[in-house]
Structure 1
Amino acid sequence: MNTALPEHTPVSQRALHEAAGRGLRLLAADPRCRSAFTAPGSLLQDLLSPAAHRYVLAADRDAFLDHLGVLRAKSYRIAVEFVGEEAADPAEVERVVGEYLAVLAHEPVPEQLGFDLSNVGLALSRELCAANTARITSAAAARGSEVVLSMERAPAVDDVLGTYRELAADHANLGVTLQAYLHRTEADLDAVPVAGRRIRLVKGAFVAPPEVALGRGPALDARYLRLAAALVDRGARLSLATQDPAVLEAAARSGLLDRVEEIEMLHGVRPELLRSYRESGHACRIYATYGENWWLHLLHRLAEHPPMVLTALADIAERGQAEGRTVGAGY
């Protein structure tokens, strides 16, 4: 797919943002960038850390859990993720699982957890991944919490949905994320448990070819709203997970917004927009993250709203102020 913008062609603001978002997602997936980020003494990590503080609440668990109280006090629901990706070392996988078990031991207990299966063993084996997911989900059930599996790149979708389907029968507190941009998703609604389940509907954050997925634009917006309505009709407890004001406005006009269980947005992305919906009486959830492996998370958050790249540059320029930013600012 050619994403170039012709030099002399007038470009709408939306088209420019969509092209910028594609560029950010390509950088996020570039193995050279990811290797540079994880290298010891990484210059890339040091330079970009002030920008990451806007989206990642803390590097360590204790500070993160303390920060959640500020958001709860403003009547937001919370989902928790320990950021990371594609853990291929058994010790690292066990460390990730241990993080989630430790979070669940905290008071007050987070009401929802989310994670990538690739971070809890999928890179090693499907069986290990399923066993670790069951461990976390069982511990969450004992504490009255839910687990909503995150979605991954298109080649991993069968593994994610298969693991969800296998575990759902024994874990009523297990839900899943679905990506509207994938052409397959409408058919997937018939293949996985939906009724009574927490389903997060997102547009889709990863780069995928046109034969696999729609690009950002009106066609994807329409599909997102169509899938949302279908999920509600099937009895899903739907989280409308989007930062797109046009989509939310369309959902409000159609009455769909009054039928979903909640609006969810990623921490740091358009907080004023989420606040406006909370103040108008809608249940709102903040998807909050912590940890140090935030390269993919940062680039995908900027891709959700590319004008935030300017904010990121300002955060880098004002390093001290950015790192000392007040938790909950804008919410």
Structure 2
Amino acid sequence: MTGELSQRALMQAAAEGLRKLAADPRCRTALATPGSALYDLLTPAARRYVLAPDRDRFLHRIAVLRAKGYLVTAEYAAEYPPEYAPERTAERTAADPEHGGEHGGDHGGEPCCGRVVEEYLALLAHEPAPERLGFDLSRMGLARSPELAARNTGRIAAAAAARGSEIVLGMEGLSEVDAVLAVYRELSARYANVGVTLQAQLHRTEQDALAVARPGRTIRLVKGALPGPAQAALPRGPALDDRFLELAQRLVDRGARLSLATQDPAVLAAAGERGLLERAAEIEMPHGVQPHLLRRYREAGRVCRIHTVYGTNWWPHLMRRLAEHPPTVLSALADIGAGRADAEGIGY
């Protein structure tokens, strides 16, 4: 038992270290320039999880996955705004009037947010358009104000609706939840194609689920990537697995279109035993994570979705994938050693 606890503690500490690397601005700066030595060295590890550095290659590669029978969510790995910090977003918005108001920039917002909006609009202009877009509101200006994020996201929602596509808002730090849900409430009242992500780890999610679940609305249920304090969140373990399944049950009972966004084979097996796989709209996993498991569910007749990412700012995404299961660091090192080529379709 002591050895098991020590191993668990080691994995938890390793995951926390990887999350710190993901958030460290020095790492982001060092990896911000394609062609730098560090960027080139680590790119083979990123290729497992990031489909392409640019839109054209990305669109070609999601066609490969679609041809295999998968649904696809598209996310652009844009650079985060300078003021972004997952653990401080809501506090800063409330406390700092300078960042809480709306400022000039591209399309009524910060220039980098305007560029992200234009990228998603260009993605939607492609034929066929991705059936779903996913992104964090931090890239839409949430740290400046929820109003700015809602305005930027509303442009994407309107364009997506015209193409028959939907958007599903992501959810990160605990401090962001109220602001993200406020934006979701505003946009979902105007657009029927807007969904939202809920984190099972947060104690508050039981009440949030009751507030946002509506017949036909897409709710993406995840365990949660960023750990919170004990008074606010559960750690990884059996209690979180049970809560995930209980929340899934409540959401489908209320008529939500549930996306079971987990790559945990034990949780998916338990969901099958409870009859949840028949009632959920789909099973979703990130590209490069458990492809053989997702393929088995697709071959068994389940609707399966791959959350795909493209762009050059892949450092946070790579570190978070590794933090979910720290032993995959060995796979990352193997990819670097072998000089992994592009990985679309492998294992799927």
TM-score by length of 2: 0.87
Structure 2 residue ranges without an equivalent (≥5): 83-104
- Secondary structure of 1:169's counterpart equals helix
Quote the offset at 1:83 in angstroms: 1.2
User: Which of 195, 210, 228 is matched with 1:175 structurally?
Assistant: 195
Distance 1:299 1:194 in 2: 34
SS in 2 for 1:189: helix
For residue 144 of structure 1, what is the amino acid of its counterpart? G
Q: Matched residues in 2 for 1:24 and 1:326: separation?
A: 23
Whole-angstrom CA distance in 2 between matches of 1:230 and 1:34: 39
Match of 1:189 in 2: 209
Change (3 A) 1:15 1:261: farther
Q: How many residues align?
A: 321
Letter in 2 for 1:236: A
2:45 pairs with one of 51, 63, 66: 51
Q: How does 1:32-43 map to 2 (within 5 A)?
A: 32-38=26-32, 42-43=36-37
Task: Mark the runs of 5 or more structure 1 residues left unpaired by the alignment.
Answer: 1-7
CA distances 1:52-78 after superposition (whole Å, capped 9, x unpaired)? 011000000010001111000100000
Find the counterpart in structure 2 of residue 330 from structure 1: 347
Distance 1:244 1:187, change over 3 A: same
- Which residue matches 2:178? 158
Aligned to 1:92: 112
Report how far residue 24 of structure 1 moved: 2.1
> AA paired with 2:183?
T
Map 1:129-168 onto structure 2 (within 5 A). Answer: 129-168=149-188
> In 1, are the aligned partners of 2:248 and 2:258 still within 8 Å (CA)?
yes
Aligned to 2:2: 9
Shift of 1:326: 4.5
**Residue identity opposite 2:337 in structure 1:** A
- Superposition CA RMSD, Å: 1.9
When residues 220 and 326 of structure 1 are mapped into structure 2, their CA distance, relative to the original with a 3 A threshold, is closer
SS in 1 for 2:259: strand
Note if contact 2:284-2:307 (Cα within 8 Å) is conserved in structure 1.
Answer: yes
Classify 1:207/1:326 alpha carbon distance in 2 versus 1 (closer, same or farther; 3 Å). closer
Distance 1:326 1:207, change over 3 A: closer
Spell out the pairing of 1:258-273 with structure 2 (5 A cutoff): 258-273=278-293
Partner of 2:22: 28
SS for the counterpart of 1:199 is strand
Percent identity of paired positions between Structure 1 and Structure 2: 63
Q: Which whole-Å CA distance do the structure 1 matches of 2:43 and 2:286 have between them?
A: 18
How far apart are residue 41 of structure 1 and its match?
6.3
* Structure 1 residues 124 and 216: CA distance shift in structure 2, 3 A: same
**How far apart in 2 are the matches of 1:35 and 1:206?**
22
Kindly provide the amino acid, as one letter, of the partner of residue 259 in structure 1: R
Alignment of 1:110-121 (within 5 A): 110-121=130-141
Distance 2:29 2:202 in 1: 28
Structure 1 residue 310 corresponds to structure 2 residue 304: no
Closer, same or farther: CA 68–39 of 1 in aligned 2, 3 Å: closer
Structure 1 stretch displaced more, 168-177 or 184-193: 184-193
The residue aligned with 2:90 is none
CA contact (8 A) 1:85 1:118 kept: no
User: Which one-letter code corresponds to 1:47 in the other structure?
Assistant: L
